[in-house]
Each structure stands twice: as structure tokens, then as C-alpha cells.
């Protein structure tokens, strides 16, 4: 099955994203999609993640990455059928296909929650080195299971930085410091933010 047929199977069509949404993703490198999850779905996913954090204990996250000051889990693809929504939702798939084109696959499905007083990450891209504008290798989606507020560790992004052809460490003395153009993504639980993974971003302090 080719990619277009596969996407159609999941309900992706030419109008799944508006032209304004495609333009926003191209310009800013990220696109918040509102009301993707109902409050029941948010609660169901959050409860399951809490259960997994308790059950996995010190091993939680080891399949991919552990990070001090956070609760991380990995390989969620294999941990509950409820997580399948995260890689089959037509609006999310349409946005990812817009960034990556006709060839892409799921890389991983993980969760991250910054613990109180923790969670600040350096600005980074989720690829080892900078890429030329348009030569994008990875696209991510963040599924908000809590409201993202000014103070609870919301993700910061530098709009348009995916088009810079540079990595934060090439231009910032300290990528953990605030960037003059950064913004925090503030949005209610149930929102999904699709972002071109070459857009500079990072978790902030909870």
C-alpha cells in the first residue's frame, strides 16, 4: 500500500488541514490542533500513564531515554491500545505528511512529565545536526494531557527556527537560557501540537 492510500484509509483527505493551517506549519514550524481529545480520552490516557509509571518504577523510560526531574515512559505503542489514536488521528497524520511528504514511519511514542521544580531543557532540535530548510527528517506531536500554562513546564519553541539551517548551540552561548524570540505553547488539555522537529524547542521549568 502506498502512503497516499494508507493516509486515505485513516481518513486523511485534501481538506483535512486548511490552507491557513498548512501555511502556519510551514512558517512557524508548529501547529496547535484544538480539541483532538475529549476530556474522557484525556483522563483515560493520563490514568494509564500514571499506572505505567507506578508499575515500571526505576525501569520507566529505559527503552528510549531517562531524564532526571521527569517521569518518562517509552514504547507506548506496545503498552495500551488506547495509545493507537496518537499515530492514527487524521488531523495529526495530515500535518505530519505535510512536513515529511510521502515517506515516513512511526519512530517512537513516549511520554514526559516534568516534576515540580524541574524540567528545564536546553533548546534543541530532535535531529543530530541542522538541516537545510525543507530537508526535514522528523516531525513530532505533543499530546497535551494537562493544560499547558505559564508555570507548569509548557514546551517553549522558537517560531521559524526550522528554516534557519542552524542548531541552537551554533548561535547561542547557552541554549538553556531564554531565546529572545521564544514563546511558550499555552493551550488546554486535549490539544495536539504538531511540530517540525527541526524547530528549536524544549521543556520549561514546572
Ligand X SMILES: O=C(O)CCC(=O)C(=O)O
Q: Name which position in 29, 61, 168, 203 contacts ligand X (CB under 6 A).
A: 203
Q: What is the rounded CA–CA span in Å between residue 143 and residue 42? A: 9
- Three-state DSSP class for residue 44: helix
Q: Does the protein bind ligand X through residue 199 (CB under 6 A)?
A: no
Integer CA distances (angstroms), 186 to 153, 155, 156, 161, in order = 10, 8, 9, 19
Q: Name which position in 16, 155, 161, 196 contacts ligand X (CB under 6 A).
A: 155
Q: Per DSSP, what are the bridge partners of residue 193?
A: 32, 142
Q: Name which position in 79, 112, 162, 198 contacts ligand X (CB under 6 A).
A: 112
| Least gap, CB of 121 to ligand X (angstroms) | 6
Residues in the interface with ligand X (CB under 6 A) total 7
- The HSE-up count of residue 92 (CA atoms within 13 Å, CB side) is 21
Q: Does the protein bind ligand X through residue 29 (CB under 6 A)?
A: no
- Three-state DSSP class for residue 142: strand
> Which range touches ligand X (CB under 6 A), out of 6-14, 87-95, 173-181, 197-205?
197-205
Q: Does the protein bind ligand X through residue 201 (CB under 6 A)?
A: yes
Site residues (CB under 6 A) for ligand X? 112, 121, 126, 155, 201-203
Amino acid at each position: 500500500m502506498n502512503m497516499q492510500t494508507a493516509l486515505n484509509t485513516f481518513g486523511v483527505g485534501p481538506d483535512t488541514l486548511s490552507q491557513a493551517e498548512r501555511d502556519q506549519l510551514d512558517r512557524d514550524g508548529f501547529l496547535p490542533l484544538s480539541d483532538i481529545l475529549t476530556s474522557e480520552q484525556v483522563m483515560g490516557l493520563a490514568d494509564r500513564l500514571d499506572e505505567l509509571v507506578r508499575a515500571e518504577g526505576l525501569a520507566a523510560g529505559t527503552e528510549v531515554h531517562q531524564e532526571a526531574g521527569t517521569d518518562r515512559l517509552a514504547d507506548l505503542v506496545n503498552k495500551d491500545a488506547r495509545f493507537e489514536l496518537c499515530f492514527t488521528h487524521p488531523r495529526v497524520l495530515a500535518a505530519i505528511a505535510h512536513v515529511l511528504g510521502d515517506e515516513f514511519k512511526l519512530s517512537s511514542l513516549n511520554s514526559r512529565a516534568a516534576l515540580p521544580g524541574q524540567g528545564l531543557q536546553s533548546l534543541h532540535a530532535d535531529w543530530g545536526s541542522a538541516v537545510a530548510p525543507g530537508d526535514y527528517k522528523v516531525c513530532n506531536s505533543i499530546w497535551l494531557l494537562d493544560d499547558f500554562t505559564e508555570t507548569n513546564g509548557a514546551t517553549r519553541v522558537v517560531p521559524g527556527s526550522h528554516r534557519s539551517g542552524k542548531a541552537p548551540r551554533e548561535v547561542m552561548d547557552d541554549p538553556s537560557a531564554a531565546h529572545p524570540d521564544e514563546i511558550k505553547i499555552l493551550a488546554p488539555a486535549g490539544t495536539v501540537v504538531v511540530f517540525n522537529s527541526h524547530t528549536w524547542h524544549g521543556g520549561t521549568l514546572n
